[in-house]
């Protein structure tokens, strides 16, 4: 007599995997805060400007100015916002933190203006130095005002 062997349980594996990844992505996804969005804009423009000023071409000056302008308008927006870290501080320390953040962003904007001026004057060495300064201001700003995940 022929015995029928139990059929192994079959899952539609690729579809199941996709579902698992999709659910995991959904669980991990969080929307960017307005400050994070401004920072992302600064990041992109900064990166493109570093690449452009590596071997600057006089005829590309308008492009460099537009990128530096994006850094400036995004930093101006950022200056008006409040870092997420503020909410983690005791209420009596929050105002001082926001004030200090705004001062640092204002200092950053002074460096951005110097960068714009040097691009206008085609002083490329100076402009590259300004970019390095922005980077070190970024590091200080992140150390001081960016929350630990
Ligand atoms: C070249 C300059 C800078 C670049 C490229 C940059 C880039 C970034 C990036 C990529 C993020 C993460 C955004 C995200 O999570 O989606 C971020 C976050 C942040 N950055 Fe910057 N940043 C710069 C300058 C600064 C400066 C000068 C400050 C402060 C004075 C600052 C303060 C912060 C803070 C507080 C956050 C966390 C956002 C939040 O709390 O909502 N950044 N930045």
Q: Considering only CA atoms, which of 25, 30, 34 is closest in space to residue 149?
A: 30
- Cα of 93 to ligand 1 centre, how many Å? 21
**What are 132's two structure tokens?**
């390095």
Could you give the CA distance from residue 125 to residue 59 in angstroms, rounded to a whole number?
17
What pLDDT was estimated at residue 2? 52
Ligand 1: centre distance to CA 128 (Å): 20
Q: Mean pLDDT across the chain, nearest whole number? A: 90
- SS3 category, 8: coil
Give the atom of ligand 1 at the shortest distance from the alpha carbon of 86.
40
Q: Residue 38: what pLDDT?
A: 98
Q: Alpha helix locations (H) across 29-147?
A: 34-54, 61-79, 91-120, 124-145
Tokens linked to 108: 């950053």
Q: What is the pLDDT of residues 51-90, one digit of tens each?
A: 999 999 999 999 999 999 999 999 999 999 999 999 999 9
- The Cβ of residue 63 has, within 10 Å, a number of other Cβ atoms equal to 14
pLDDT in tens, 104-126: 999 999 999 999 999 999 999 99
Supply the pLDDT for residue 6.
Answer: 66
> What pTM was computed for the model?
0.85
List, in order of start, the domains of the chain with CATH numbers: 33-145 (1.20.120.10)
Angle of the 34-54 helix axis to the 124-145 helix axis, nearest 10: 150
Indicate the pLDDT class of residue 4, thresholds 50, 70 and 90. low
| The pLDDT of residue 17 | 63
- pLDDT tens digit sequence for 24-55: 665 666 789 999 999 999 999 999 999 999 99
Of all protein residues, the one whose alpha carbon is nearest to atom 28 of ligand 1 is 141
Grade residue 12 by pLDDT with cuts at 50, 70 and 90: low
**Residues 105 and 78 sit within 8 Å (Cβ to Cβ):** yes
């Amino acid at each position: 007599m022929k015995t029928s062997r139990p059929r192994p349980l079959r899952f539609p594996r690729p579809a199941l995997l996709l579902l698992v990844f999709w659910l995991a992505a959904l669980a991990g996804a969080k929307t960017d805060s307005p400050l994070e969005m401004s920072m992302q804009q600064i990041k992109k423009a900064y990166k493109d400007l570093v690449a452009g000023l590596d071997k600057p071409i006089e005829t590309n000056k308008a492009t460099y100015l537009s990128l530096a302008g994006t850094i400036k308008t995004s930093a101006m927006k950022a200056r008006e916002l409040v870092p997420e870290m503020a909410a983690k501080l005791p209420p009596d320390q929050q105002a001082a933190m926001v004030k200090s953040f705004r001062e640092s962003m204002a200092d950053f904007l002074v460096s951005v203006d110097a960068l714009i001026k040097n691009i206008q004057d085609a002083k490329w060495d100076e402009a590259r130095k300004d970019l390095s300064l922005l980077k070190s201001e970024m590091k200080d700003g992140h150390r001081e005002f960016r929350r630990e995940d």
